[in-house]
Amino acid sequence: MTVKDYLCYFKWIYIIFAAVGLLAIVLHAGHWSIAKAVDYQRTNTACQTKERVFDYADVLSGEEEEKLRSLIARREKQTGCDIVLVTLNEPLEEYARAVEPGVDSSEYVRVYAERQWEEKGFGYDRPDGDGVMLVDNWSREDDGRIHTWLCTTGRARDAYYTDDIDHLLDNVYRYVEENPYRAYKTYVNDFYHDMLGWRLFHMNVPGFLPLLAGIISCVIFIALNWSSKGGKKTTTAVTYVAGRQPRFPVSEDRFLRKTVTAFQAEAAAVMEAEEAITAEAVTAGRHAAMQALNALPFSRKKTPQNILRGFYCAFILFIYTVRNPYAILFTARVMRETFLAEVFL
């Protein structure tokens, strides 16, 4: 299967991926152009401080604090919101219940965040105006948990829903224990992206939705392909042949030569003996038999054992010849083809 065939077969998948990629490029370009174009001017003159990083828990170095201040100043102009960070490492039960008696321990940090925002007059356009504050308390409350609160006001409150806040805090929690600077930098940048419309892509999806989508996809696929459920012939005799042309390789055996390696002298002597032995020519038969005996390879391996065997065979042949001249042929052949061939060849 060629590359062109793959592209044709999966063309819809490639088209979908290309469309999604193009959409992402367009959105990134639009996001970047908006960020370059906007330049909000701060109009709140009643704010009591220009500080935006309050590291009371001392989890950031001086250099990291300066980097965050510089980043926050740039993002505030791009979003038109005050961006404030507060870190704590102390229980807030006494502080929170002095402001709101009976407040739950999970909301001590909320009471602190709202009170600080109002007291310092944060807000980009006016006091208690557009802005966001992250309060991260590293101390455990009486419920044994560490609590963080994201306080939103003005335009930030209008832009953020509960799911959006949870998504931003999840991103902060991912890094805060190992790298607090990265976690708080993520908070600032995520808020900036969300205010410019990027939060559209981090909506929380219910857990059952992927399963439901899979079931629907299966039903649609079965419905579209039900008519073609029968098997089809997808290959032919030349499907995998180069050029789509059949080739029949010819194989044949050709006789070139014949080589005979038999003992011709022995065979000739035996045949001569067969012709010579008759009822009238016993003497000639004996002479031919002795020639056949001499033609046998008795002396190829001249060991004492083979010499004794050779004499024994000659004696047996001689006795057989004297008693029955016709037995010489049978005896010679048997010993030649069995015992002698096994021993001497």
Tens of pLDDT, residue by residue, the chain (345 residues): 566 776 676 677 778 878 887 877 776 666 566 555 667 888 998 898 999 999 999 999 999 999 999 999 999 999 999 999 999 999 999 999 999 998 998 899 999 999 999 999 999 999 999 999 999 999 988 888 889 999 999 999 998 888 889 999 999 999 999 999 999 999 999 999 888 875 444 455 555 666 777 788 777 767 766 665 555 666 666 666 666 666 656 566 666 666 655 545 455 555 665 555 444 545 555 555 555 555 555 444 556 666 666 665 666 556 655 555 555 555 555 555 544 444 444
Q: In what order do the strands lie in the sheet with 148-153?
A: 53-55, 82-88, 131-137, 148-153
Angle of helix 304-323 relative to helix 282-295, nearest 10 degrees, comes to: 160
Concatenate the DSSP letters of all residues of 51-65 into one string. --EEETT--S-HHHH
CA 182 – CA 241 distance, rounded (Å): 60
Q: Is the pTM of this model over 0.95?
A: no
pLDDT computed for residue 229 by the predictor: 52
Helix (H) or strand (E) holding 86, with range, is strand 82-88
CA 191 – CA 305 distance, rounded (Å): 108
Identify the CA nearest to 78 among candidates 197, 158, 169: 197
Q: How many CB atoms lie within 10 A of CB 188?
A: 22
pLDDT computed for residue 339 by the predictor: 46
User: Residue 117 burial by CB count (10 A; 0-12/13-18/19+): exposed, middle or buried?
Assistant: buried
Q: Quick check: helix, strand or coil at residue 148?
A: strand
Question: Phi, psi (5° rounding) for residue 62?
Answer: -60, -40
Strand partners, 88: 137
Helix (H) or strand (E) holding 137, with range, is strand 131-137
Cβ contact 278:289 at 8 Å: no
pLDDT computed for residue 164 by the predictor: 87
CA 97 – CA 142 distance, rounded (Å): 13
**DSSP assigned state of 206:** P
Identify the CA nearest to 87 among candidates 161, 172, 194, 195: 172
Q: Which two tokens stand for residue 124?
A: 């980009």
